[in-house]
Structure 1
Amino acid sequence: MGRISTSDRVKERIKEWLKRLLAYVNDDLGLTDAEDKYFQDKVSVNYDNFRTLIVRSELEPLVKLLFPQDPKKDLPQLKETFRHDLRVLKSLGILEDNRDKRQGSSYWHFTIKLWHKSTEVNLEKFEQKWDESKGIDPKKLVDRPVLPTTLTSDITKIVPQRLISAQHNLPTRQHGTLIGRKQEITKLLELLSHHHNNTNLITIEGLGGVGKSALALEVAHRCLQASQNPELFPEIPSFEAIIFISAQSQCFMGSSFPRRLRSERNLGDIFRVINQTLNHFDRLPPTLEAQLDAIIDSLSRQSCLLTIDNLETLEQQDFVLGFLQEIPPNVKVVLTSRVKTGLGTIIGLDCLNAEESLELIEHQAQQKGIQLSHSDIQSIYPKTAGLPLSIVYTIGQIAVGGMVPDTIPTGFDRSNQDLAYYCFEDSFRQFRGQPAAQLLTAIALFPQPASLESLAYVALNTTEVTTTKLGLNQLFRRSLLEIQQERYTIHSLTRQYIRADYQDSSSNISDIQNRWVGWYLKLTQPCLALDWQEWQDYSFIDADWMNLRTVVEWCREQGRFADFRDFWQRLKGYTLFGGHWLERLDWLDWLIATAQQRQEPATVAEGMYHKSRTLAHLNETDPNGEAIALGKQAWQLSDSQNWQFQFDIAIYLATLHSRKQEFGLAQDWLERSQTLLQPPVEEEAYIRRWIQTRYCKAEIHWRTQNHAPAKDLYLEALAKAKEINWQLMISYIQGWMATLALADRDWQQAERLLKLVLEAAERHHDYRSLAYCQRYFALLEKQRQRASLACNWAESAQISFERLRMTQEAAEMRTLWENRN
């Protein structure tokens, strides 16, 4: 093989096509629809946690993508040029060739090392790497072995994402300019700077309404600006991830939840926000301890600013504080609290001084488009005592009423919340009984920002939004409303005041709560038409999950069994595939107990069946036999007229016994299921269950080493599954067939099938299936004696299994990659 060139011309050419490749994976290339379809079908380029870029493609379409306008060379020349450039990257240790057969192959599979999430940073690092290689004799720059890249915990997470300079979930600032607090801003930024290595926890303490959240959010946004444009803000600390968690928005109405559950909910919600902000698509593990390990691992991978706002509203704060003690040193934590905590370095906030208060009054007046005389401005300050929220409420009242209220008493004690509440109440009572008051009452029910349509329905019982917009505008002018990305929410103290007002009959809270429940029953109505045993697109639930969960649990707290049961029917598929294990088990316990009291055996049976499935997902070995015991109780309570439900229980119990190596019992339950499957029945229902019997029987043969009949049964089931387009079952069958091919050492067939399963698992976020794919890829590469790839897959599978609490499988994978030599 000939020498390779490392001229500046070659460097610039590689930079250009690298830039184009990154633009393609980020969907920033500006392709036409026809071009986009052509390349999507032929070129696969995906991120591996931004650490590497994974490319799979035939050579010709890849060259057409990366060299679109080069009139000087024809396609064969471009192909040769591209091969040369890949060899250069390999020689520099930037590229790893993953092809099985390299000589004469037109199919390419390689990974390119990345340094950062930013395209610009990656190109700069590439140049640095290139310049460092200038000291190497070009004659020695021939193809040389490159050590395989170490795969991260997210090796197979190849969902394309747009590159940004900092991952964040910061809400919009409600103020254009933060008045005052210059000293506090300077102090907080200084503490967040990375040379303050010993200061990783900062707490902002002060009265409600004094501006703690505003200060924390202002500084977080400044850090975001610095992260996006470090050359413009060199004095401000930058972070790779900035996470803002409002503890107030995570709280639930009522306190009847079990003590353990309340603490897990609080910490679990924090974990979910972190997971989502870091763009981790894998669901969190089922237990709090495993979630903690996963989150700490995620946070340790980048510099991070984590803000937890309204700490005092959390239940069981010791759980959260325990988490904070585990946070790695690369994470800076900012807390805000109305009560003294003594945690970390304290920044205490007091009311604004006279000068700052007058500036805020004038600024708020300008924002509301009102003119105040000098005497008006001077008179407002003593009545608001420099408390920012009181100033905001008061200016909002003036914006609507047109005159300075003269009923605000002076001399309020700054050590309590009386003044802010008085200012709120004085404004609120002026529009009681009006649509705006109903809207404010409704908004307080939503822990997360609410949509315009939901507020129109819940507050005003209408689908027409004109009146709703007018009412929301009135609230906004009164400074009682905040707008976040076309959704509506309120200040945490405003929410507290409104909930305290629920006892007032004039608020029509019962009607509003009924419509609140009705809105979410309506939102989830499409789920009833979805097959809960098939992969589905539940993104419309993801966007409103916290609000929806609050409604469901409020129904439970209020004893609204019928509504709760209706929600369960809609959400049983979403909670199973979405990994909401705590909610699922907790809800099912209440559903079963209440249905038993109401003497509804059908509901009890279904609850037991789904609880059994949840326990089996947590640990399919069912060490205590609890899952099997619940399944058998469900069978005994099941209605003989509902043959489909009885079939589901029987085939499920056959599978459980098979996995416990109890093949006699497995065969007994399989035969019961087949007895139930007697035509005439509805055609598709019959076909689906016929497929399941073949699938279960094949698994029994597989586990008893009878591979030939297992393969025949899988092929039969696969053909039928394709006839009715049952995507989940198609993928699962292909996975089992891959294991048979692996047992027969048919490596090409095993790899082909595993790739299909891998793509489907990633597309539908089925991480149990994904973990098994990683496992079998590791075993495949081990058989091929490709130790490096086998170890990479094994390490990735180990982490995936650990996150799913599948300890036996995780231990097997750990043994494989630790014993690679």
Structure 2
Amino acid sequence: MNEEQILALIEVANNLVLSHTDEPLNDVQRSILEQVLQGKRLREIQYTGYTEGTVQRIFCPKLWNLLSAATGQRIRINTVTATLQRCLNEPLDIVNSSYEPPTAQKKVRQNLPARSCSTFVGREEEITRLLELLSYEHPAHLISVDGIGGVGKTTLVLEAAYRCLQASERQESFLGMPTFDTIIFTSAKEYYLIHSGLLQSLAPKRTLQDIFRQIARQVDELDITGVSFEEQLDLIKEALSHQRTLLIVDNLETVENQQDVLAFLHELPPTVKAVITTREQIVFVPVRLTSMPESDALRLIQYEAQEKGVSLSEKDSQTLCKSTGGIPVAINYSIGQLANGYPIQEVLGKISDLRGDVARFCFENSVKPLTGKASHKLLMALALFPMPALQDALVQVAVPDVNLCAINADLARLRSLSLVRQENNRYSMLPLTREYALAELQAYPDFEWEVRERSIHWYLNFSAIYAGQDAQSWQGKFDGLEEEWQNLQVVIEWCMVQGRYAQMWQFWQNLEAYTHAMGRKESRLRYWGDRLMWTAWLIPASEQRGDWPVTAKVMSDRAVTLTSLGRLEHLAEADELYSKAWELRHHQTPVFRLCLARNIAVLRIQQQNFEAAQTWLNQTRELLEQTELGEKERSRQLVQLQYYQGEILFKSRQYEQAKITFHQTLELAQQIQWVRAIFCTQNWLAEIAIRQEKLDEAERLLKEGLRVAEANQDKIRTAFCQRSLSSLSIAKGQLLEAKEWSNKAIENFEKLGMSKEIDETQNWLRTLDADT
């Protein structure tokens, strides 16, 4: 076509548009039309000042709609030339015809497979997010739903698609639900996991050409038969530019030539919302799936059991929830197996079997290509960390000799496969992934041994900086230890199982102060349970080796914990331990002997044997005079000695003498700025003030003490302050307020696992109830 003919057809188009809209073609529209009449394909059309995507995805579709309305004919890039030529030759027939752009049809063309479940359970946040992204009010047109195999990606996408389909057929876009003219589903999934095992897909759509054919089957008047790939691409993009389309590409990781598919999806017009499901993390707008929360997983277990007629106890449901790790496909498979008559223990074994159907479906395709590589070692080593692992810890225990650049690439690969998750500088994995990785690790016993040995070395170095901290102070520096606590527990348990005495003793020295302090601040049950377990191992281990200094030290440490727990059985064991430790005192330092005598005095106070307590305090004083100490350390020892002297006097009801003693203690503590000792002493002074009816003074001391205890997150001091405030309220005759303080104290005692104090305060509360 020569230039004169092209200009003539452009003028025809301009006259038609002017007649229809009272406005001529603008410069952009004229340029697009000229390029099309010159024979250019869609992807070759350009206009200076605009990106190719804007021209091809926005301006071209608008021009075709404008010409369609003006000519009364359906105009597309491959029909515009012929239509304008007919308009030039037969103007009256064309102009007099009327054309209305097609309105949304109630019947939506779609090829969605059947839902895998009749009721969608859980995932409320994720389905809401996906529907939000599918709305045309959201700019995203490429959306990825990623996660490990079996986590429910396809189920989620199909649920969203069916909701959109229902809204589209009922024309309910006004309700906020995304609507589409066409919904196209294509899947490259090779296997399905059903209740009886793995089921092979008959015809997975694994190529870009397969996707093209699926699109052509669903879109009206789109025929791509017998034309080149480039022309197919242009025809598909042109056809999709005139209708709202939801295109789902399921299981991208098994698609051939993934980059070509991704390029195709990226080039689609803005009328298309493309959703891919993949085990690999793609840089689209993501909806990331992990295991279901426990509550949702239990709901799914109960629903599937009811649907399949399986009777499950609450205990069995909990066991199944834990074993499946909240992975939906594992839950569905397990309930199906139970419905087929398999006992629950056999089903649980199948879930964790490295060669079983669940493991093969969820992990085999992702993990098998990694075998023998550093990424495989990182995956197996990470399974030994129950809590998110620091990158340095993971690398040093798994592959210490691999360079950093290669490590970063390996970790990125594991993340992209959804096998591990990264948050800041820590790595973690889902429970079912951990089970699989642990089973993999067992297949490499030599590597497992190396990993565990390196774990001991790394955590000994890590915990060394916490050795020698003051457990009695609020100024202890334990930053970073809490995040590693469960990982440390695993390493220490391994040391005990393997009989690693030297390493266990080193861990105890590094962590003893932390466990004592955290039992006071957070939970006696959690942290002091560890203390009791570890000391129960260390005492006989040191005795067998004749390591008497360690035996005496650990016996004393254990007895301190038992004394604080305070029940009769605890005090009896502490008494026995202290007796043995005292017999071994000459194997230890003078400072140890001094502290041991004081701790025995504390035990006697707990046993209400004040005469014996006084004897031991007197001996402590003699030992203090004989021991060479620095000025500050001597002052700390004097503070503790005076403190317990005051407690003996108070509990012997010698309040005035106790007051004098506690004031001396307070002065000493203030001189060395021992903050916790200051407020512990003030609490006793407040108790004395209550008994001496100096209630304003008591209130001032207790309110200040409570404020500081809460600021330092010391739950024990907080609870005791609250209990003392209850006493103060009783003295004031404010019984309702006294109940409130008692209940607050009980709440903190319960968090700490302080059963003796709970019983005491509850008895007190029952007395208050009787009085009111």
Query: Under TM normalisation by the shorter chain, which class is it?
Result: 0.5 to 0.7
Indicate conservation of the 8 Å contact 1:688/1:721, yes or no. Answer: yes
CA contact (8 A) 1:437 1:507 kept: no
**Deviation sequence 1:302-355 (CA, Å, 0-9, x none):** xxxxxxxxxxxxxxxxxxxxxxxxxxxxxxxxxxxxx9xxxxxxx979768959
Residue 586 of structure 2 is aligned to residue 639 of structure 1: yes
SS in 2 for 1:555: helix
Q: Residue in 1 aligned with 2:462?
A: 523
Q: Distance in 1 between matches of 2:395 and 2:258?
A: 27
* Aligned-residue offset at 1:464: 7.2
Q: Give the counterpart letter for 2:515 in structure 1.
A: T
Q: CA deviation at 1:739?
A: 0.9
Cα distance 1:707–1:188, how it changes in 2: closer, same or farther (>3 A)? Answer: same
Q: Which residue of 1 aligns with 2:545?
A: 598
Unaligned runs of 5+ in 1: 1-178, 193-207, 222-231, 236-338, 340-346, 374-387, 396-413
* Structure 1 Cα separation of the partners of residues 608 and 669 of structure 2: 27
Q: Does 1:628 align with 2:599?
A: no
Q: CA RMSD in A?
A: 4.4
Mapping of residues 404-553 of structure 1, within 5 Å: 417-418=355-356, 428=367, 430-461=369-400, 465-484=404-423, 486-502=425-441, 508-535=447-474, 536-553=476-493
Cα distance in 1, alignment partners of residues 399 and 534 from structure 2: 30
| CA–CA separation in structure 2 for the residues paired with 1:769 and 1:454 | 36
2:754 maps to a residue whose letter is L
Q: Aligned-pair distance for 1:598?
A: 1.6
Match of 1:589 in 2: 536
Unaligned runs of 5+ in 2: 1-111, 126-146, 161-173, 178-192, 206-247, 263-275, 283-335, 338-349, 519-523
1:711 aligns with 2:651: no
- Does residue 512 of structure 2 align to residue 572 of structure 1? yes
The answer to which of 582-591 and 791-800 deviates more is 791-800
Counterparts in 2 of 1:620 and 1:794: CA distance versus 1, 3 Å: same
Q: Tell me by how many angstroms 1:596 deviates.
A: 1.5
Shift of 1:443: 1.2
Cα distance between partner residues in 1 of 2:680 and 2:574: 22
Q: For residues 539 and 355 of structure 1, what CA distance do their matches in structure 2 show?
A: 56
**Displacement after TM superposition at 1:595 (Å):** 1.3
CA contact (8 A) 2:468 2:513 kept: no
- The residue number in structure 2 matching 1:560 is 500
Deviation, structure 1 residue 366: 8.1
TM-superposed CA distance for 1:681, in Å, is 1.9
**C-alpha distance in structure 2 between counterparts of 1:746 and 1:650, whole Å:** 35
Letter in 2 for 1:455: L
In 2, distance between residues paired with 1:367 and 1:765?
Answer: 57
Cα distance in structure 1, aligned partners of 2:506 and 2:157: 43
1: CA distance between counterparts of 2:155 and 2:479?
30
In percent, how many aligned pairs have the same letter? 27
Using the TM superposition, name which of 438-447 and 471-480 deviates more: 471-480
Counterpart-to-counterpart distance in 1, 2:578 and 2:405: 52
2:724 to 768, 771, 776: 776
Look up the match of 2:119: 186
Q: Give the match's secondary structure for 1:677.
A: helix
Distance, in Å, in 1 between the alignment partners of 2:389 and 2:615 is 52
Query: 1:400 — aligned with what?
Result: none
* Cα 1:471/1:734, change in 2 over 3 Å: same
| Residue in structure 1 matching 2:754, options 790, 804, 820 | 804
In the alignment, structure 1 residue 735 sits paired with structure 2 residue 686:
no
Cα deviation for residue 504 of structure 1 reads 5.7
The higher radius of gyration belongs to: 2
Partner of residue 50, structure 2 = none
Q: Whole-Å Cα distance in 2 between the matches of residues 780 and 754 of structure 1?
A: 9
Aligned length: 477
Does the Cα contact within 8 Å between 2:375 and 2:411 map onto a contact in 1?
yes
Structure 2 vs 1, CA of residues 780 and 421 (structure 1 numbering), >3 Å: closer, same or farther? closer
For residues 43-82 of structure 1, the aligned pairs below 5 Å read none
Q: What residue is the counterpart of 2:668 in the other structure?
A: 720
Q: Quick one: distance in 1 between partners of 2:734 and 2:606? A: 30
Residue matched to 1:764: 712
Residue 13 of structure 2 aligns with which residue? none
1:158-177 aligned within 5 A: none
* 1:819 counterpart SS class: helix
When normalised by structure 2's length, the TM-score is: 0.54
Distance 2:197 2:444 in 1: 36
1:780 Cα shift? 0.7
* Equivalent in 591, 598, 602 of residue 651 of structure 1: 598
Q: Given the superposition, is the C-alpha separation of residues 446 and 565 from structure 1 closer, same or farther in structure 2, using an over 3 Å criterion?
A: same
Please state whether the residue corresponding to 2:700 is helix, strand or coil: helix
Q: Is contact 1:528-1:569 (8 Å) kept?
A: yes
**In structure 1, C-alpha distance between the alignment counterparts of 2:688 and 2:763, rounded to whole Å:** 19
Structure 1 residue 800: deviation in Å? Answer: 4.0
Q: Which residue number in structure 1 is paired with residue 768 of structure 2?
A: 817
Measure how far apart 1:489 and its partner are.
2.6
Q: Which has the higher contact order (CA 8 A, sep 6+)?
A: 1
Q: Does 1:681 align with 2:629?
A: yes
- Specify the code of the residue in structure 1 equivalent to 2:719: A
Distance 1:369 1:618, change over 3 A: farther
1:159-238 superposed matches below 5 A: 184=117, 186-189=119-122, 211=150
| More displaced 10-residue stretch of structure 1: 792-801 or 656-665 | 792-801
Q: How does 1:50-449 map to 2 (within 5 A)?
A: 184=117, 186-189=119-122, 211=150, 354=201, 361-364=250-253, 370-371=259-260, 392=279, 417-418=355-356, 428=367, 430-449=369-388
Deviates more, 1:695-704 or 1:510-519: 510-519
Name the residue aligned to 1:140: none
Distance (whole Å) between structure 1 residues aligned to residue 114 and residue 712 of structure 2: 47
Does the CA contact (< 8 Å) of 2:604 and 2:612 recur in 1?
A: yes
- Give the match for residue 57 of structure 2: none
CA contact (8 A) 1:431 1:437 kept: yes
Find the partner of 2:736 among 788, 792, 816. 788
Amino acid at match of 2:622: T
Return the alpha-carbon distance in structure 1 between the equivalents of residues 430 and 456 of structure 2.
23
Pair 714,190 (structure 1): closer, same or farther in 2 beyond 3 Å: closer
In structure 2, C-alpha distance between the alignment counterparts of 1:675 and 1:489, rounded to whole Å: 55
Structure 2 counterpart of 1:57: none
Measure how far apart 1:766 and its partner are.
2.7
What's the CA shift for 1:704?
1.3
Give 2:697's aligned amino acid. Q
Question: CA contact under 8 A between 1:556 and 1:564: conserved in structure 2?
Answer: yes
Name the CA distance, whole Å, in 1 between partners of 2:573 and 2:545: 24
User: Quick one: distance in 2 between partners of 1:216 and 1:485?
Assistant: 30
Following superposition, the deviation at residue 794 of structure 1 comes to: 2.5
Q: By percentage of residues, which structure has more helix?
A: 2
Confirm or deny that 1:699 pairs with 2:647: yes
Query: CA shift at 1:419, angstroms?
Result: 5.4
Deviations 1:533-592 (A, max 9, x none): 323353512222221211111111121121122112222222223222322211111111
Deviation of the 1:805 alpha carbon? 0.4
Q: CA deviation at 1:418?
A: 3.9
Partner AA of 2:457 in structure 1: G
Instruction: Give, in whole Å, the separation in 2 of the partners of 1:701 and 1:519.
Output: 49
- Say which SS state the counterpart of residue 584 (structure 1) adopts: helix
Return the letter of the residue paired with 1:764. N
Is 1:665 matched up with 2:612? yes
The answer to whether the Cα contact below 8 Å between 1:655 and 1:696 also exists between their aligned partners in 2 is yes
Establish whether residue 615 from structure 1 lines up as the match of residue 562 from structure 2. Answer: yes
CA distance in 2, matches of 1:700, 1:467: 65
| Cα 1:444/1:218, change in 2 over 3 Å | farther
Aligned to 1:158: none
**Structure 1 residue 753 corresponds to structure 2 residue 705:** no
Distance 1:427 1:520, change over 3 A: same
Matched letter for residue 776 of structure 1: S
